[in-house]
Structure 1
Amino acid sequence: MAAASQLTTIFQTFRPNAFSCSNNNNVKIPAIPNLKKQILGVAAGILAASAVAAAAPLEADATRIEYYATVSEPSCELNFVKSGLGYCDVVVGSGEEVPFAQLINVHYTARFADGIVFDSTYKRARPLTMRLGMGKVIKGLDQGILGGGGVPPMQVGGKRKLYIPPNLAYGPEPAGCFSGDCNIPANATLVYDVNFVEIYSGNRKL
């Protein structure tokens, strides 16, 4: 009787209209009127629910990364230099200064001036390897990380906020375009939270 009662409770839980579970195979299990098929449907529903539960840790990790990518560093008072770049150090690093023309690893979150995130290495769960001083990145990142024009160079372990006006970003042209859709509009002001993780070890092979 106890087993029958539990089965009835489970069936009542999943009964409304249809039980559907999205997974890699897009499985959808409809409610079926006769008792035998109802029992089979409940069993399949339990298996599908178990599969969703097994996937939950991955979804939780993805949510955590997405959340971290949208959280800004603590605010600090920006210093503006002649070029129009604004910067302030949230954390002053204690390691080596960023080297000219060598590869470094940085984490960053990039936003528009209204705070909307358009890119983040945290979402990808790995830092970006970049080379500074060679025109490989936008001018605002070159000056803001490497230093110059009144901006001190960053040191390993440092975290810096950069306010990058359009003339030091992508200017009057949209950027990040694919199939007619552009991630960054023309004349966009960008705000970067930069974390100088390390000097890339592969530089030793150069």
Structure 2
Amino acid sequence: MATSALAIATAKPLTHRFSNSKHTSSPSFSCSCSSSTPLPPPNEPKLSFNSKPVAKQCVFNVGVGLLAASLLACSPLEADATRIEYFATVGEPQCELNYAKSGLGYCDVIVGSGVEAPRGELVNIHYTARFADGIVFDSSYKRARPLTMRIGLGKVIKGLDQGILGGEGVPPMLVGGKRRLQIPPNLAYGPEPAGCFSGDCNIPANATLLYDINFVGIYSGNAK
């Protein structure tokens, strides 16, 4: 049984044999890869290619390979993309925290120029929520729309009510303002884990939370 001349095993250098046959209208060459395996009988057909299509195909294959490699190198992994997206929401200038008697830490990155948050009304905020070690666990920016929430009636954790509405020495936020909050466990979720689903909890017990708040505005659907 004859062994193919294209077998891959300690192949010798590629050799080209050009011929100018009077029966062909354009130059052609034949290509064979030789090895220690005996060559096929002379009557066994050989592979022959037109030189121009082969050259074009080689150039095309190299181009496709380079394009694929560049796309792979320039495309970050999903985790990196998420990290970059979140970084854009937490890259605010630093500010020195002040502390209320309740233990809430707060500081204004930007003091707004609009109205105060009305107690019991719906407001729109953008936020990024992190653990004390800086790991982001939630963000309205990822959803590409602000959160609408009712302020001052216990509908959110105490730290957000106090941090946005004000009170106990904390000034109220104004529309257009940006504030950083450090919320201790007693003003967050306390000794119980939160955000649990099927036994997995997003927020561990006794977690200190960091919030970057952007007070977008008063919800337009509030009753007058």
Query: TM-score scaled to structure 2, two decimals?
Result: 0.66
1:84-121 per-residue CA deviation (whole Å, 9 max, x = no partner) reads: 00100000000011110000000001111111111111
CA distance in 2, matches of 1:114, 1:124: 23
Structure 1 residue 123: deviation in Å?
1.0
| 1:112-131 alignment, distance < 5 Å | 112-131=131-150
* Partners of 2:86 and 2:136 within 8 A in 1: no
1:6 pairs, out of 56, 74, 98, with: 56
Could you say which residue in structure 1 is the equivalent of 2:167? 148
* Partners of 1:88 and 1:160 within 8 A in 2: yes
Q: Which amino acid aligns with 1:89?
A: D
SS in 2 for 1:171: coil
CA distance in 2, matches of 1:200, 1:102: 8
Could you say which residue in structure 2 is the equivalent of 1:23? none
Q: Which runs of 5+ in 2 are unaligned?
A: 1-50
CA distance in 1, matches of 2:217, 2:52: 62
Q: Which runs of 5+ in 1 are unaligned?
A: 16-45
Task: Say if 2:201 is the partner of 1:182.
Answer: yes
Larger helix share, 1 or 2: 1
Could you say which residue in structure 1 is the equivalent of 2:187? 168
Q: Which amino acid aligns with 2:88?
A: Y
RMSD value over aligned CA atoms? 2.5
Could you say which residue in structure 1 is the equivalent of 2:116? 97
Q: Which has the higher contact order (CA 8 A, sep 6+)?
A: 1
How many residues align? The count is 164
Query: Once superposed, which parts of structure 1, at least 4 consecutive aligned residues long, lie more than 6 Å away?
Result: none
CA distance in 1, matches of 2:56, 2:120: 68
| 1:73-112 alignment, distance < 5 Å | 73-112=92-131
CA distance in 2, matches of 1:65, 1:84: 30
Evaluate the alpha carbon distance shift between residue 72 and residue 171 of structure 1 in structure 2; reply closer, same or farther with a 3 A threshold. Answer: farther
